[in-house]
Amino acid sequence: MPEQPVSPNADDQDTGLDEKTYVEERKLLIDVERTQSQNYDKYLLLLSGGALGLSLTFISQVARQAKPFTYPILFVGSWVAFGVTICGMLCSMLLSQKAYQKQRDIVDAAYTQGRWPAHERITLSKWVWWLNLFSGIAFLVGAVLLGLFVSRNLS
């Protein structure tokens, strides 16, 4: 029978983490989450812009053949989806900045007033999450539409 994995703090298994370990782990997880979020934003913008560029290249190659496009709505739809992706990501970045500012204000108030303002909630972070999800879906829709357009117009 294989051995059960042992946590780094086996003594703390029943009582939970000590405060120092908790704070360090939480800080690490927050840093990783922030980095992943930044990478998601960066790559989604990069991929959307690249897809727009590739679609222009494809159009210029097909246009040289003086052949009419089939299913142009797929091309237009992909451009709209990529545009929505880019706009959604830019809005997400702006809202994220505002959410961080609001959180900093809450932390400042907690420090200066000696208590955490329990009534404060940051709804902006939920909007950021939804915008990121929506932008990711829009990118996938744009990629599928562009792929369909290209496959229908290859000779």
- Average pLDDT on 88-107 reads 85
pLDDT class for 99, splitting at 50, 70, 90? confident
- 45 versus 111: the higher-pLDDT residue is 45
Structure tokens at 7: 């946590």
Sign (positive or negative) of CA dihedral 68, 69, 70, 76: negative
Q: How far is residue 24's CA from residue 57's CA, in Å, rounded to a whole number?
A: 49
Residue 32 makes CB contacts below 8 A (sequence gap 6+) with none
- 44 versus 5: the higher-pLDDT residue is 44
pTM for this entry: 0.73
Of 54-58, 98-102, 105-109, 123-127, where does mean pLDDT reach its minimum?
105-109
Coil/strand/helix, residue 139: helix
* Residue 32 exposed, middle or buried by CB count within 10 Å (0-12, 13-18, 19+): exposed
- Average pLDDT on 119-125 reads 71
Residue 102 makes CB contacts below 8 A (sequence gap 6+) with 122, 124
Sign (positive or negative) of CA dihedral 33, 36, 42, 44: negative
Do the Cβ atoms of 122 and 130 come closer than 8 Å?
no
Q: How far is residue 88's CA from residue 105's CA, in Å, rounded to a whole number?
A: 26
Residue 13 pLDDT > 80, yes or no? no
* Torsion angle defined by CA atoms of residues 86, 88, 93 and 97, in that order, rounded to the nearest 10 degrees: 150
